[in-house]
Amino acid sequence: MFGIYLLIVIVICQRVIEVIIANKNAVWIKERGGYEVGREHYKYLVLLHTMFFLSLLVEVTVHPPKFVAWSIVPFFIFLIAQFGRVWALSSLGEFWNTRIMVLPGAKVIAKGPYQYIRHPNFVIVFTEIAVFPLIFQAYWTAVVFTIVNALVLSVRIRTEEKALKEATDYEEVFEKRGRFIPSYEK
């Protein structure tokens, strides 16, 4: 069980570090005249992720997982998602954030995975929430939070796209790119 808790704690620590980076990036954007959009729903995003990890910890404690060979599949999908996460975050650099931060007049980033789809980070987060619990046979956490995450992301994506269309060249750059499925039209 120690290894299971350790892996979950490592991922929680990763998320905490990302929030610290996001806060630093938010300051950078605000210093350049940027602002936050969708603040009213951000608390639900934080609540979702907090409850996800609490649910996962409770489920693995109540129903300790056993090693099953197929658990390697969600583990490898999760590892691949981590590489995608780093690629997406590093591609956005100081523009990456857990909040919706807008810098009017900025050129949107269309490199890295963003050259293929509009929202690679959301695809990655969706994948992580769906597969991470499956590594530990935490089926309830996987199903419930995948559904709740999809609902929260549907609000967030609409809010983010509307704000970016109003303040940046988002629509011009991404009009022919799929939201979640790669599009090769340029």
Res. 178: pLDDT tops 70: no
* Environment class of 3 (CB within 10 Å of its CB; exposed 0-12, middle 13-18, buried 19+): exposed
Q: Is 180 within the bounds of a domain?
A: no
* Environment class of 100 (CB within 10 Å of its CB; exposed 0-12, middle 13-18, buried 19+): buried
Domain hosting 22: range is 2-174
Q: Is 183 within the bounds of a domain?
A: no
Q: Is 95 within the bounds of a domain?
A: yes
Q: Is 102 within the bounds of a domain?
A: yes
Q: Which residues of 41-58 are buried (b: 16+ CB within 10 A; e: fewer)?
A: ebeebeebbeebbebbbe
Domain count, the chain: 1
* Environment class of 138 (CB within 10 Å of its CB; exposed 0-12, middle 13-18, buried 19+): buried
Q: Is 185 within the bounds of a domain?
A: no
At 116-173, the pLDDT tens digits run 888 999 999 999 999 999 999 999 999 999 999 999 999 999 999 999 999 888 888 8
Q: How far apart are CA 145 and CA 112, in angstroms?
A: 28
CATH number for 59:
1.20.120.1630
Q: Is 179 within the bounds of a domain?
A: no
Q: Is 44 within the bounds of a domain?
A: yes
Cα end-to-end span (Å), the chain: 49
At 54-72, the pLDDT tens digits run 999 999 999 999 888 999 9
Q: Is 157 within the bounds of a domain?
A: yes
Res. 177: pLDDT tops 90: no
pTM check: above 0.75: yes
* Environment class of 135 (CB within 10 Å of its CB; exposed 0-12, middle 13-18, buried 19+): buried
Which is more confident, 108 or 182? Answer: 108
pLDDT confidence of residue 180:
65
pLDDT confidence of residue 171:
83
